[in-house]
Amino acid sequence: MELISAVATASGAGGVAIVRVSGEGALALAQQMFSHKGEFEPNRLYPGKIDCGPFSDYGMCVYFRAPRSFTGEDTVEFHCHGGTEIARGVWKRTIELGARAAERGEFTRRAFLNGKLSLSAAEGMAEMISAQSEAQVRAGFLLYGETLTREGKRLQTEIRECLAYADADVDYPEEDLSADARREVAVRLRKIKEALGGLLSQYRVGKKIRSGVNVVICGEPNAGKSSLLNALLGYERAIVSQIPGTTRDAVEGTLEIGGVLFRLTDTAGLRESQDALEQEGIRRAKNAIAAADVVVLVREGGAEGHDMPKLSPGTALITISSKSDLVRSEKCDLCVSALTGEGIEALKELLYERGFGRENGEAYLLEERHYGAVREAAEAVDRALEGTEKGAFAELYAEDLRRAYVALGLLSGETATEEIIAEIFSKFCVGK
């Protein structure tokens, strides 16, 4: 393949920057601009001088021989000092020597095309790179380790076995045998359906790993919502005031609890108001509550009022009795004081438990594309199963089995179209 080059590290000042060159002639290029004379042993870092033309830098060079490289092609990397101009100078020299600028994600795309990793593994790697929390890195790593592709392939194999029954039935249709085949396929399909259902159920958690758990703090004006947000975040994010109705817009902040990202929103106090600006704040508060994963209802001293928000199905509720240093009530989940810090750690634990769930650490179905593929497969399996149960002709349920097979192949990329592949890699960064 054509020689491509890119700065693989983020731009800016840093200890080291890496320029990566992959394709035919990578080694010859390194020999032209790097001072090491003699043989380049693969996978070995050589120290030396990188000649960029207008300037030089002392650094290192490593050669990975095809197919034992990330891309599967001959690759060299120059490790220079981490300054934008230095890295650009090294890169420009590689271009002068015949490489062309790599497109976004082109190295990974080549790795995929050369069978070094599957499509969902490439997406997992991108997930790790853009992660905003430990949980997202962990999930990305599971994808990168081919967990989803393996499961997809396993299910594809089982579907293929069902197809073998169906095909035999098509070729040698006979009443008794057809019924036997249908029964056997149905037994297998029920197991496949269960496995697909398990994957799909991960997505509820997977979405939270990817986008964060939405927590909305609500309650009457002056209940202590802004103070609670600040206490949770550990810094003064929201304005705290004795004047009720101060928070008019939703104030947001992010917090990592147990490696999971939580997005906290402090809302305008819920009360009847004539003030147009405050009314707008209250309208936004109601919208935020409707979209929340967890609603934290703050009540001063636990006092019950007309503040119970309307929750969407699936939204968890945590009731807080605030200002526990002044007044206390046990008619709530937790007593909290933003002033003394009482209950803040316990609240974080409760947020984790109700907003995310203790047992949800190992989810890896978090990408919409993966969810779509698994859902499509599950729907096709459902139709096939219904067909076998209703005594449909093998031709009919086999068609659905084939659809499920193709949908699952989208995970590894085996059945993905050029457009899908191009779109995925266009979202990667240059140099990856």
Binding site for ligand GDP (CB under 6 A): 219, 221-227, 240-242, 246-247, 269, 322-323, 325-326, 337-339
| Cα separation values, 58 from 28, 32, 86, 236, 285, Å | 19, 15, 11, 46, 57
Q: How far is the CB of 249 from ligand GDP (least distance, A)?
A: 12
Report the residue number, 118 or 322, with the smaller CB distance to ligand GDP: 322
Q: In a 3-state reduction of DSSP, which class is residue 45?
A: coil
C-alpha to C-alpha distance for 404 and 127, rounded to whole angstroms? 26
Contacts of 190 (CB under 8 A, 6+ apart): 385
The partner residues of 316 in beta bridges, in order of sequence, read 294
Closer to ligand GDP by Cβ: residue 32 or 246: 246
Considering the complex, state which of residue 131 and residue 216 has its C-beta at the smaller distance from ligand GDP: 216
Q: Return d(Cα 111, Cα 125) in angstroms, integer.
A: 12
- Nearest approach, Cβ of 267 to ligand GDP (angstroms)? 9
Cα radius of gyration rounded to whole Å, the chain: 29
CA distances from 111 to 75, 99, 301, 370, 415 (A): 12, 18, 60, 20, 17
The rounded distance, in Å, linking the Cα atoms of 169 and 341 is: 70
244 vs 357, beta carbon nearer ligand GDP: 244
Closest CB to ligand GDP among residues 223, 381 = 223
Please, where are the H alpha helices in 172-224? 175-211
Helix (H, G, I), strand (E, B) or coil at 7: strand
Q: How far is the CB of 243 from ligand GDP (least distance, A)?
A: 8
Closest distance between ligand GDP and the C-beta of residue 326, in Å? 5
Closer CB to ligand GDP, 206 or 221, in the complex: 221
Q: How far is the CB of 250 from ligand GDP (least distance, A)?
A: 12
Nearest to ligand GDP of 8, 270 (CB atom): 270
Min CB(238)–ligand GDP separation in Å:
7
* Residue 222 C-beta: closest distance to ligand GDP, Å: 4
Strand order of the β-sheet with 4-7 is 46-51, 56-64, 75-82, 14-22, 4-7, 100-101
